[in-house]
Amino acid sequence: MGWAAVSAGEDVRLKLVEADEPEENDYHLQEQVGFILRKAHQRHVAIFAAHIADLTPPQFAALAKLHDVGETSQNQLGTLIAMDAATVKGVIDRLKARGLVELSKHEVDKRRLLVNLTAEGREAIERLIPLARDITAETLAPLSAKEAATFMRLLSKLA
C-alpha cells in the first residue's frame, strides 16, 4: 500500500477516519449492484442461447409480445418490450428478413408501421415458449423456490 512508507502520519489519518465513520474505505467492484446485475444478465443470456440457439432474447421478446397482443405498431411494440425506437427497428428488420413477422402500413395513421406474426412466426413462438419456461427455471435454479419468489419480487421493484 502507498502509505506504508509514511505509515506514521497516514496511520493517524486512517484511524481518525475510521473513528469518525464505520464506513469502508475500499471500493469493491464485485459488490456493486450494477456489476452483479450485468453478470447475472450475462449468465441468463448464455442459458438462453444454450436452449434457443437461433433466436436472441430480444427477438424472442418481440415474437412473444406479438403473440400476446397481436398486431401493433413498431413503436408500441418497442414500448411493450422496453426497447427504444432504433433498437426495435433492428430487431424487427431481422425478424422480417427471416419471415417471422410481416409489416404493413396503418390505414388511418400513415406514420405507423404495423407489425404482425407470420404463420411461421406464430408456429415458432408457440414451439419455443415451453423452452423459455425451462430457461427461466434454469436461470433461477441456484435459488430455492422461496428464494426465487423473493428475488422476483425484489427484482421487479428495481426494473
Give the footprint of DNA on this chain (CB under 7 A): 38, 42, 45-46, 49, 56-59, 73-76, 82-87, 89-91, 94, 106, 108-114
- Which strands make up the sheet holding 72-73, listed edge to edge? 72-73, 113-117, 101-105
Stretch that binds a second copy, among 8-16, 65-73, 98-106, 109-117 (CB under 8 A): 65-73
- Of 73 and 148, which has the nearer Cβ to DNA? 73
- Contact with a second copy (CB under 8 A) among 6, 19, 33, 108: 33
From CA 78, how far away is CA 120, in angstroms rounded? 21
Which of 26, 29, 31, 34 lies closest to 1 in space, CA to CA? 26
From CA 60, how far away is CA 140, in angstroms rounded? 19
- Binder of residue 19, out of DNA, a second copy, none (CB less than 5 to 8 A by kind): none
The strand pairing partners of 103, in sequence order, are 115
Q: How far is the CB of 93 from DNA (least distance, A)?
A: 8
- The pattern of x and - marking residues 85 through 124 that bind a second copy according to CB under 8 A reads ----------------------------------------
Q: How far is the CB of 11 from DNA (least distance, A)?
A: 35
From CA 44, how far away is CA 136, in angstroms rounded? 8
- Of 17 and 50, which has the nearer Cβ to DNA? 50
From CA 159, how far away is CA 153, in angstroms rounded? 10
